[in-house]
Amino acid sequence: MKTNGLRVTIPGKSRGCKNLVLDNPVIAASGTFGFGREYAEYIDLNQLGAIAVKGLTPAAREGNPTPRIVETEMGIINSIGLQNPGIEKFIEEEMPFLTQYNTKVIANISGNSVEEFVWMSQRLSMEKNIDALEVNVSCPNIHRGGEVFATNPEMVELITSAVRKATDLPIIVKLSPNVTDIGSVAKRAEAGGADAVSLINTVLAMAIDIRQQRPVLKQVFGGLSGPAIKPIALRQVWQVYQSVTIPIIGMGGIMDGNDAIEFILAGATAVSVGTGNFVNPTACVDVLEGIKDYMKDHHLDHINQLVGKAHR
Amino acid sequence: MKKEFIGEILYQEMMYDGCYRMVIKTDEDLLKASQPGQFVHLKINQTGSPLLRRPFSIHRIDLEQKTISLLYAVVGKGTRIMAMDLPGKKVGIIGPLGTGFPLPDPKPYHVALIGGGLGAAPLLFTAERLVEKEIKTTVILGYADKQRSMLEGDFKRLGVRTYISTEDGSIGNRGYPTEVLQEMILSEKIDAVFTCGPEIMMHKVAVICGDAGVKAWVSLEEKMACGVGACLGCVVRIRDEGGSHYEKACKEGPVFKASEVIFHEN
């Protein structure tokens, strides 16, 4: 392996926009890693390519009532409800902590309207230590009866282009798997000016308590994550790779280096580890070590040599 | 840097049908750091199934034998696997995690421990530490019936005054441990109450102690994924000046001040 054999670059496509350069392709997935504090007790955060922080909203949100989480076969369904301190408190209280590390910071933003996405993008762009925005379009649009943005390709393009105008940070659009044709949604994100797409978000799901004869989660539905969704995620990364030219950040049930390699072969430039962190606080580092082992075993100079290689 | 400890199951003891005590030999660092009321997050299998770790309150720490004991009942997939585990099996342990019971320092002090069913588990470790600090300790345990009653001998061996209640009166007093507490709190000086068990019982303890002006702490149970404060799955409602807010059972808890907890309504 070459010295920089793990470095991956997501080029800023638009004029004057920054590149996102990661020392390695492993990212801690938004919503599974808080703001890094909890896991800093178990791993050196400098070892990560990036941290995608807990999803942020303009104001603080206290989240959904419990039960918020249930384990199912090889997966977890969650309905946390975007509990977060809001943008200002994040900048004031969490950014100083994250800034101690060299690891790139990806701010994940969730809005209920185009205006909210724009405002958050502008506000976060004023912070010099934020390296990219991840736009979570899997939120309900309050102006359209709660329709989820991600399921409407036009809205995805509209939000992306509005965020594009509001920031010169690299934009990653996080796609929902709960659509008929994820490739066409990805194309719209690309057309709107996204520098990358990340996928997949969680799969809409539910569980029922047969003793109490009612849904387990208070909110009835939640998002399924973990190894149970890996085959779906891989298939969708594959489809998106055939639909767009911008880099893909692949995720969905990655537990070890071999899982990550599968995603890279399917077309992912980088990978995110989510639910794996809940099982092993050292999961991100374990995945990175597994990737290195694979590269060594296969005499690879650079991780880029593997991206999309299974398409043949 | 914190890490996962590896433990080896030494043996298991059946408390009653479907309830076991697992004794695990493990690292001294884990044992020495453990405080009463804290928990460990156990990886039962290396096969990846069940996916998540399982949280267990610390039932006993034996620094001489270098063991930690966990008390559990078979309620689902994870505990079903545990019940079949043989000595020698390796398990992964993260911990100790969370915030436990506040052990008092002043000596003329009387602590009452109220346990319901499996909720008695962390109280044994707590009683041990209270006795070490020469703090007067009373334990009041409640069970469904004689068949499911346990730990009386363990507490008595510590020299702790022990009361047992069962719902059907098949052993000890007939009724609930809260009734014993209710009487005791009026007749003698109790400085603090620690409780763990069914929520309905802990709620009752909170009310009794609130009325009597006695400080009380409860150990709550919530569905949990990460155990370290990241997933925000295990939140509980805590009263504050402006109303209430969520706190994490895995980090700020599982032990909370009884007066601040907003219990579920059902």
- CB-based contact, A43 to chain B, within 8 Å: yes
Q: Provide the CA A263 distance to its chain's centre, in angstroms.
A: 14
In this prediction, residue B132 has a pLDDT band, given cuts at 50, 70 and 90, of: very high
Q: What is residue A140's predicted lDDT score, i.e. its pLDDT?
A: 72
CATH code, domain carrying A263? 3.20.20.70
CATH code, domain carrying B12? 2.40.30.10
Q: What is the mean pLDDT of chain A?
A: 95
β-sheet bridge partners, residue B255: B219
Q: Is residue A311 part of a domain?
A: no
Q: Is residue B159 part of a domain?
A: yes
Number of domains into which chain A is organized? 1
Locate the chain A residue with the closest alpha carbon to B78: A71
Are B223 and A278 an interchain contact pair (Cβ–Cβ within 8 Å)?
no
Tell me the average pLDDT across B221-240. 95
Domain boundary (B97, B127, B148) is at B97
Domain extent for A28: 8-306
Q: Is residue B104 part of a domain?
A: no
Tell me the average pLDDT across A252-256. 97
- Three state DSSP letters for chain B: CCCCEEEEEEEEEEEECCEEEEEEECCHHHHHHCCCCCEEEEECCCCCCCCCCEEEECCEEECCCCEEEEEEECCCHHHHHHHCCCCCCEEEEEEEECECCCCCCCCCCEEEEEEEHHHHHHHHHHHHHHHHCCCEEEEEEEECCHHHCCCHHHHHHCCCEEEEEECCCCCCEECCHHHHHHHHHHHCCCCEEEEECCHHHHHHHHHHHHHHCCEEEEECCCCCCCCCCCCCCCEEEEEECCEEEEEECCCCCEEEEHHHECCCCC
Same-domain status, B89 and B121:
no
Locate the chain A residue with the closest alpha carbon to B236: A66
In this prediction, residue B266 has a pLDDT band, given cuts at 50, 70 and 90, of: very low
Q: Kindly tell me if the per-residue pLDDT of B52 is higher than 80.
A: yes
Are B2 and A76 an interchain contact pair (Cβ–Cβ within 8 Å)?
no
Domain boundary (B97, B130, B146) is at B97
Minimal CA–CA distance to A86: which of A35, A145, A128, A149?
A35
Same-domain status, B116 and B217:
yes
Domain extent for B60: 5-97
For A60-64, A161-165, B102-106, B138-142, which range has the lowest pLDDT when averaged over its residues? B102-106
A-B interface: how many C-beta pairs under 8 angstroms?
96
Q: Kindly tell me if the per-residue pLDDT of B265 is higher than 70.
A: no
Catalytic choice (A120, A137, A139, A254): A139
pLDDT, tens digit (0-9, with 9 covering 90-100), for A284-296: 999 999 999 999 9
Q: pLDDT > 90: what percent of chain A?
A: 92
Confirm whether A139 is a catalytic residue.
yes
pLDDT, tens digit (0-9, with 9 covering 90-100), for B92-111: 999 999 999 999 887 779 99
Tell me the average pLDDT across A97-125. 96
Q: Which residue has the higher pLDDT, A105 or A14?
A: A105
Q: Is residue B105 part of a domain?
A: no
Domain boundary (B65, B97, B129) is at B97
Are B225 and A69 an interchain contact pair (Cβ–Cβ within 8 Å)?
yes
Same-domain status, B153 and B40:
no
Minimal CA–CA distance to A248: which of A262, A260, A263, A235?
A263
Are A69 and B230 an interchain contact pair (Cβ–Cβ within 8 Å)?
no
The DSSP code for A97 is: H
